Structure 1
Amino acid sequence: MDATGRPIIAKPPRNVLHAAALVLVVALATILTALGFEHLGGYVPCPLCLEERYAYYFAIPVAALAVLLVRGENPGAARILLAAIALAFLANVGLAVFHAGVEWKWWPGPTECTGAFDLQWGQGGVVDTPVIRCDEASFRFLGLSFAGWDALVSVFLAGAALWGAAHRR
């Protein structure tokens, strides 16, 4: 209680709250952009592109939960969630760098979406689903493909999540 008899309401730790909100907004904007390129722009993702989305599909609801936990005065649990988000995005950095390297032909990629591969025949002939290659960048902006940009965004999101996870009250 303060001097007037009103209860003192503790403010949530700002750094943890800001980090969780930042991760939530940036991850949501990034995945919506990817989905927009796919559904509105006609850029069909390759199998590696789809795998790179897993970190975002994990981080968005978990970051939202972290925001709620901080607002509900449980910053410790929010910090644990932010650490998990950071690990997911650090793994995603590795996957995105691998994918970008495959596109630049620095190393081989998965056989199911790179190089020469056998067509699978069905009862009526070739399957109608096109094979999207992982070793060809369908789009580049400022010299980076979608995978390159994903690596940069994932580094930023991992850093933001680690920043929030490292702050104590």
Structure 2
Amino acid sequence: MFLTYFDAMPRRVLALVSLACVALLAFGLYLQHVVGLEPCPMCIVQRYALVLVAVVAGITAVAKSRGLLITGSGLLVLLSGFGAFVAARQSFLQWYPPEVASCGRDFYGMIETFPLKRAIPMIFKGSGDCTKIDWTFLGLSIANWSFLCFVAIALVGLVLITRLARQR
């Protein structure tokens, strides 16, 4: 019964995904500006991934052709997979912090100072800030929740692709 919603209204599902991403971004901004938590470089990369997922889901939601819906859903899976990878890496760093944790440059400092070829590995290496757990809900950190949200979005995209591909 639940999957029939994907068949009957795939555009509405994509609009809900986009809206959920906007809500998650708003919550992240709330944590930053009201609660006072500063995002680490990996958090910022996850935010960018979430923005891209929201934009792709929103644009795909207004697509009229089945082919565009499938293509947009595929892109949604790829982008949310990237976000899940970054969140999983940050979760790993939080669970198994390096013995020597030093606060490196911030995200924008890395991008401005180093060529992209050097900055990207530095971001994924993480800094001392990336290992710190400042906030938890139900025992999970922000990175853990981010991972779960990205995986859920990827699953929605996969279900949409399979359901739309079966329709003739």
Q: TM-score range by the shorter chain?
A: 0.7 to 0.9
Backbone CA RMSD of aligned residues: 2.3
Q: CA deviation at 1:153?
A: 0.7
Q: Percent identity?
A: 24
- In the other structure, the counterpart of 2:40 is 46
Query: Which SS does the other structure have where 2:129 is aligned?
Result: coil
Q: For residue 161 of structure 1, what is the aligned residue in structure 2?
A: 157
Does residue 94 of structure 1 match 2:113?
Answer: no
Whole-angstrom CA distance in 2 between matches of 1:137 and 1:155: 21
CA distance in 2, matches of 1:118, 1:68: 42
SS of the equivalent of 1:18 reads helix
Q: Unaligned regions of 5+ residues in structure 2, if any? A: 1-6, 106-126
Is 2:109 aligned against 1:115? no
Distance 1:167 1:118 in 2: 45
Q: Which runs of 5+ in 1 are unaligned?
A: 1-12, 120-130
Aligned partners of 2:73 and 2:92: how far apart in 1?
A: 28
Structure number having the greater helix percentage: 2
Q: Is the 8 A contact 2:50 2:83 kept in 1?
A: no
Q: Is the 8 A contact 2:103 2:128 kept in 1?
A: no
Residue pairs, 1:4-153, within 5 angstroms: 14-69=8-63, 73-105=64-96, 108=98, 115-116=101-102, 133-153=129-149
Shift of the 78–108 alpha-carbon distance from structure 1 to 2, 3 Å rule, reads farther
Give a deviation string over 1:46-82, Cα, whole Å, max 9, x none.
111111112211111111111111xxx3121122011
Deviation of 1:117 (Å): 5.3
